[in-house]
Amino acid sequence: MMAPARVLVVDDSPTMRGLITAVLNADPEVNVIGQAGDAMEARNAIKQLNPDVVTLDIEMPNMNGLEFLDKIMKLRPMPVIMVSTLTHRGAEASLMALEIGAFDCVGKPQPGDARPFGDLAEKVKAAARSQRRFHAEPPPLAPATANVNPADSYRAGRKVVAIGASTGGVEALIAVLQKFPVNCPPTVITQHMPPTFTKSFADRLNRLCAPVVQEATDGARLEIGKIYLAPGGERHLQISNPHAPCCRLVERDPVNGHRPSVDVLFDSVAELAGRNAVGVILTGMGRDGASGLLKMRHAGARTIGQNEKTCVVYGMPRVAFELGAVEHQFPLSSIGEEILKITAARREGSE
């Protein structure tokens, strides 16, 4: 049996520190070993206690959570889970934190929440187990113009691309989509993310990547050069209409504990597109997307999984690989280029 994950809780609110500590200590596999009210206290506590994981408030006095996270990742890289308000401003800050190197983000409780902090304990345990290599300094994001497959050398064929991701998916999707040219194949994505985060994330991707990236809307036509991100919250993303493929947002119960669910998206792609599709499963906790990717492969689609070494959490890709859903595993740095090789029109002359 593994030792409990040792956690340092950092938040300027004594009430919030108490709530987080109570939620985490309710799990026998987690042990809160200390608390800190600001960055200076946290710095000293990290030195003295050597925690496995830190939970870090974004908004703190003196030095905010983003500044402190940046210092952690440069000077003493370790798993950090950010705790944020579920507001537009909080979403922007959380996305910045994930790009700096945070393991994941959770929202602060809202009135009426049945499970305050959601699956924070599970994320803490995954962070403690993670084999992720924390680098002294994250690699800089390449500008959208630095694309290795410029539009004049790529022409999309008939395939649609479907991508699923969870923990670690923000950085992973940026890495994949920055390889796409402005005329990329139609691409649909489900990334597990709170409702208020997905619009900000789509806008962020749109600024960083050559194609148009937008939050999916019901009825939006799938077009070359466009990427559609499932909105978080109350509905699942599917594709429908074989004659004019489009996005559909459907009201259904959560699947695998998620809404939107990767499996729901992949199932619809398998049914509608069959062999004219590429399925990609990226880093993430749990198993969402594994069975849907298997359906895609059985329907004739090409399927790709992120390899263990480059995953923040090798959960979803591992289950998919063990089910036989993954045709090839690749390191994250290669996945964008592999998608373009498969979807280029010159590869589809016989289809």
Decide if pLDDT at 142 tops 70: no
Q: Rounded to whole angstroms, how far apart are CA atoms 17 and 11?
A: 6
* Residues tagged active-site: 166, 192, 288
Q: Is residue 146 one of the residues assigned to a domain?
A: no
| pTM across the whole model | 0.89
Helices (H), the chain: 14-25, 39-49, 65-75, 88-100, 120-129, 169-177, 195-208, 262-273, 290-298, 316-323, 332-343
pLDDT of residue 272: 97
232, 315: one domain: yes
Residue 118's φ and ψ, nearest 5 degrees, are 55, -125
Q: Is residue 140 one of the residues assigned to a domain?
A: no
pLDDT of residue 153: 85
70, 212: one domain: no
Q: Is residue 147 one of the residues assigned to a domain?
A: no
pLDDT band for position 278 (cuts 50, 70, 90): very high
CATH number at residue 20: 3.40.50.2300
DSSP helix, strand, coil percent of the chain (3-state; round to 5):
35, 20, 40
195, 125: one domain: no
Range of the domain at 300: 153-343
Helices (H), 76-151: 88-100, 120-129
Q: 128-137, 164-173, 179-188, 263-272: lowest mean pLDDT where?
A: 128-137
125: nearest Cα among 20, 11, 7? 7
Q: 92-96, 124-128, 227-231, 341-345: lowest mean pLDDT where?
A: 92-96
302/350: higher pLDDT:
302
219, 111: one domain: no
Q: Is residue 287 one of the residues assigned to a domain?
A: yes
Mean residue pLDDT of the chain comes to 90
Count of domains in the chain? Answer: 2
Residue type, 231: P
275: nearest Cα among 145, 156, 111, 158? 158
Name the pairing type of β-strands 246-250 and 236-240: antiparallel
% of residues, the chain, pLDDT over 70: 91
311, 220: one domain: yes
Angle, helices 88-100 vs 65-75, to 10°: value is: 10
CATH number at residue 294: 3.40.50.180
Decide if pLDDT at 134 tops 90: no
